A and B are shown apart, each in its own frame.
Chain A
């Protein structure tokens, strides 16, 4: 039970590369914090700094009211689940979980109780004598979690623990991790590059890019009010449509100061195929280029007027000028059809020209 506080944490490598450029994060006791961002954004480095596996160049990391900058990983009272599980291949499941406790000089009887309790929670009871090589991916994952649980640490650290699992297992393990964390009520920090995992797991979401925090907050609040174009396009799938407001068609529709904003963003689900233009809203003419039917919903990929350029935002998944529209059901216009889509005023997101500032219209 502890809160974790990061104050202006920086990491620079000897070759001058700045991996973390000053991060402030507060995780309250029992909260589930998710660090999300594209690869190379520094999220894993940050987690490893909390774990004590990387040194801290400057700033302060505080776990449970104690600055741990100079504390050895084993003495920070944390447990970590690694991406490749890092189980000891030559030890049985029982010994894998018991190893850390034995090193701390705990009594065998107490170790046995703790491991068996963890095995019961994780449904590993029948596998305690097996070696990791005889387990499936999901079972190894659970052993790795068991190894963390038996320690009864102040903080759990997860480093992309689900990325080695197949899609179906990933979803069920995701739910399991969340339930487990609620039940044990242990402060957790979780690193992922999967925005869906991030949205579903987090109490508090930290979106990172290029070694900096782009936005911190409740996942839904971030979804509804992304602070930058990076967050706007990273959180949510498919990503938010971003377009320049310089173009006359949009500028005239927005009118006034909003028209000067620079970048306009509309989420695919906020666009409706209609001939009307809602007052204060924005309507766009599209030529349908591709249709993706996934069952409950359909994604329509349309191109705007040919000279229109989509504002490039990292990660840029779309060629310039393309707009995605999400419509419920499977009814969709034909490819090549000309359609008009519109969004109401309260569904518009406005950003400054460089995409770094959100503008409330």
Chain B
């Protein structure tokens, strides 16, 4: 550490504080807006202090949504989004950890070809293959269902690659010691490999949960029923009304509610998340 200089630290701090304001101000505005009566915002006056309608707005938003455009309470959107995000995150982790296990610990023909095939799918996100994926999902009668929301998104090359890199750092002797101890491949996976991967799984879960939560295009395409609607789509629908005033307070409350679960996941798993990213000693 260099000597402590008051003015030397001042400039970097000002830059950092400015950055925090730029990022946090819109969030603050959203929270403020959600506490005022709709008429205040509709007048074109955006106050910077909290209003008095906070609890009322949130209660109405969660329980009944807006009266006009969407007939769905935001509470049920939260549930839909949560099921989808958790399903995508857990599904991706389950599939990729198993495929990485096969690629690293088993010697089968075309092993590397398999790995590269998985790797190449990095170039094929949902947006690129959206038409065939939609066709298949529709043919399998999975439109408007959670399996239709989740399954097409759960193959993950990134997660497979991450687990592969981690598995390659597991000492070969550990596998051999397990063999000597009478543990077959499945026992080794559950007794040794899975407990060692906990931090990696947690780190991945955070990233993948947020990925799943923020899905927009795919849910928009395959859900038509209101009770399957996710919150990210719900926000858009609440704002986008015809021949009426947008209920900005409800829209802002929905936006704030949409932010909370990802924040909660990050906060809860932060310790494991950081450990999973920096831990090298196994």
Interfacial residues, chain A to chain B (CB-CB below 8 A): 51-53, 72-74, 78-80, 82-90, 99-100, 103-104, 147
Contacts and interface: CB of A to CB of B under 8 A. Distances in A.
B130 interface: no
B173 interface: yes
B215 to A, nearest CB: 34
Contact of A103 (B173, B174, B182, B195): B182
Contact of B180 (A79, A83, A88, A89): A79
A28 B199 CA distance: 48
Contact of A74 (B171, B180, B191, B282): B180
Interface residues of B, number: 16
A106 B146 CA distance: 44
The 7 closest A-B pairs by CB, nearest first: A100-B181, A86-B173, A74-B182, A103-B182, A86-B177, A90-B195, A82-B173
Main secondary structure of the interface of A (DSSP, over half): loop
B149 to A, nearest CB: 35
21 contacts: A51-B180, A52-B179, A53-B176, A73-B176, A73-B179, A73-B180, A79-B180, A80-B177, A82-B176, A82-B177, A84-B173, A85-B173, A87-B177, A89-B196, A90-B192, A90-B195, A100-B180, A100-B182, A103-B181, A147-B177, A147-B181
B104 interface: no
B183 interface: yes
Given A80-B177, A86-B176, 12 more contacts: A52-B179, A72-B179, A79-B180, A80-B180, A84-B171, A86-B177, A99-B181, A99-B191, A103-B182, A103-B183, A103-B187, A104-B182
A74 B180 CA distance: 5
A79 B182 CA distance: 11
Nearest to B173: A86
Nearest to B192: A88
Contacts of B171: 84, 86
Nearest to B195: A90
Contacts of A100: 180-182
Interface of B: 171, 173-174, 176-177, 179-183, 187, 191-192, 195-196, 282
A83 B173 contact: yes
Contacts of A104: 182
B125 to A, nearest CB: 35
Given A86-B171, A89-B282, A90-B195, A99 B176 contact: no
Contacts of A89: 196, 282
Nearest to B198: A90
Contact of A53 (B174, B179, B183, B195): B179
A243 to B, nearest CB: 43
B180 A78 contact: yes
A147 B173 CA distance: 14
B174 to A, nearest CB: 5
Interface centre among B173, B180, B191, B196 (most CB of A within 10 A): B180
Given A99-B191, A103-B187, A86 B174 contact: yes
A72 B195 CA distance: 25
Contacts of B183: 74, 99, 103
A100 B173 CA distance: 15
Nearest to B177: A86
B202 to A, nearest CB: 14
A245 to B, nearest CB: 47
Nearest to A74: B182
Given A88-B192, A89-B282, A74 B176 contact: no
A87 B176 CA distance: 11
A55 B182 CA distance: 18
A87 to B, nearest CB: 8
